[in-house]
Amino acid sequence: MSVSMPDGSMEIPERKDVPAELKWKLEDIYASDELWEADVASLLGRLPELASLQGRIGQSAEDLLKGLDLLNEINMIAAKIYVYARMRKDEDNANSKHQAMYERAASLVVQVSSTASFIRPELLEVDEDTLEEYMAENAELELYRHFLHDISRMRAHTLSAPEERLIAMAGEVGEAVSSIFTMLNDADIKFGSIVDEEGNTVELTKGRYTRFMESPDRRVRKETYDALYSSYGSLINTIGSTYSASVKSDAFNARARRYDTCLEAALDKNNIPVKVYSNLLEAVRDRLGLMHRYVALRKKALKLDDVHMYDIYAPIVPDIEWTVTYEEAKKTVCEGLAPLGDEYVSILGAGLESGWVDVVESRGKTSGAYSWGEYGTHPYVLLNWQDNLDNMFTLAHEMGHAMHSHYSWTTQPYVYSDYSIFLAEIASTANEVLLMEHLLGLTEDQVRRMYLLNHLLEQFRGTLYRQTMFAEFEKIAHERYEAGQALTPDALNDIYLQLNRDYYGDEIVLDDRIALEWARIPHFYSAFYVYQYATGFSAAVALAESILEHGDPARDRYIEFLRGGRSKYPLDLLRDAGVDMTSPDPIHRALDVFEKSLEEMETYFRG
């Protein structure tokens, strides 16, 4: 159900017909496109000034401060130019003027990056004692202490200038592997057709896959599952070679930079010790019995003689009519986030009413949802609103990102204003957890309550369990290559099939086709990325539960976490908030919530 326009129409409107109160205000970034053009010209005029510092930036405290200040100023303007152009394009991708602005902005960002590429290598040529002397000589450099420390800690893994140039050139080859898979996965592969619930023959696409896998008609689910994996199976040798090449590229970069393993190399970018990864895998494996019970619950609730992999996405509580208008969602989200305090809710509420959010679908608008923006302005949220419960959770999620950005941007100087990707999903997920607890507290109807719990359990299955299984697959695959073993399609299939057997247990029928699922996961071409979804989810649940249990002290620590940006390393910011991700405790605390919710659903379906 689409959100209705003020005239009652349910048609997808043209951009010009969307009321102003349902649009974001990009004018808060640039009041006109002409002012954007002026910043583009100004930035281009400043690049020679930055380039003139090449060979000098590490020569004195004065040059160092000048270079870092100038770099921040240029990066801030470039990001503002890029964000504005991209979001203008996202309003209507058919608008040729904004298409051209975006392409120019993207090119400008590359130009800035190229001009500034000398800075990091030159800083690494300055020894730490000299950097300390510079900071003692000029107090203004103290601002950059953490920034400079983060660069310095990578000294052992940074090569000479000629070697770095070779690594950069080789990097283009590595990136080509991901591009090849993307073209194969997004453009070339076809999945054929299936017969839907009404008997219509329809083309299967990746966009339609999830909807059909959630169908109450088991025949539709099985046909969808078979069609999708048949297509990947027909290309498995090509995809296997592509993924093997990606792993080889990871290993080349890790060895070239003197890391012992690919995993260590990937995690070191955010200063994350390997034991964080190991703790996640071990803690989830310790609690796999809960997932096995969830599969058994599905079998009982769906009244099936056996559960197959194509039954995993089917809702175990019948879909119910739960209409939520955008106005209702705004009110409910603010009420649900009350545990975060009056200040948080006041800023959130004001943002919802003052041009932070682009609400409704319009012709040419980018699909999906995201939160974005840039330092010096307020954050923005793109939605394509539908009047349902899922969209209310999406609003809470994206506003979690937005509020994290708001607190970080308004607290930190620009150099530390952007939080690490390791922390990126915590604030958004914490909002969803708090909203869920609020709705469960209000819901007396047992069917609706089970519907909410099913939603929560699916979040755990899809994020904590599934992403951890992905993370374990990546670890095994890379370790096998590092040990000199070949990553053939059969070998990769065997690894993935065994992981599914371990994670889902004996209650599920492991159709052979599930062994092919690894072949369709784009994130595997960004090695050791997906574990952060699981750690972020665990940390968010632990933080939300602590706020609900301990009140103001836990809330105040959490708000300070939101304000932290990159002023400390990710694990230190989380530790200050009360969550130690070097311990398995946050994962177990999150899984305690899963177990409690599972027990309630088991009791309901036994009755």
Q: From residue 498, how far is each of 43, 264, 319, 494, 529 by CA, in Å? A: 54, 25, 32, 6, 22
Give residue 451's identity as a one-letter amino acid code.
Y
Distance, in Å, from the CA atom of 316 to the CA atom of 461, rounded to the nearest integer, reads 13
Q: From residue 401, how far is each of 139, 290, 421, 580 by CA, in Å? A: 34, 30, 12, 21
Q: From residue 544, how far is each of 434, 455, 557, 558 by CA, in Å? A: 6, 17, 12, 9
Pairing type for strands 193-195 and 201-203 reads antiparallel
Distance, in Å, from the CA atom of 210 to the CA atom of 52, rounded to the nearest integer, reads 53
Active site residue 14: no
Catalytic residue among 361, 398, 437, 545: 398
**Which residue, among 377, 381, 357, 358, has the nearest Cα to 417 in the 3D structure?**
377
Distance, in Å, from the CA atom of 472 to the CA atom of 283, rounded to the nearest integer, reads 12
Q: How much helix, strand and coil, in percent to the nearest 5, is found in the chain?
A: 70, 5, 25
Please tell me what DSSP assigns to residue 367.
Answer: P
DSSP 128-139: HHHHHHHHHH-G
308 bridge partner residues: 509
Q: Which residues are catalytic?
A: 398
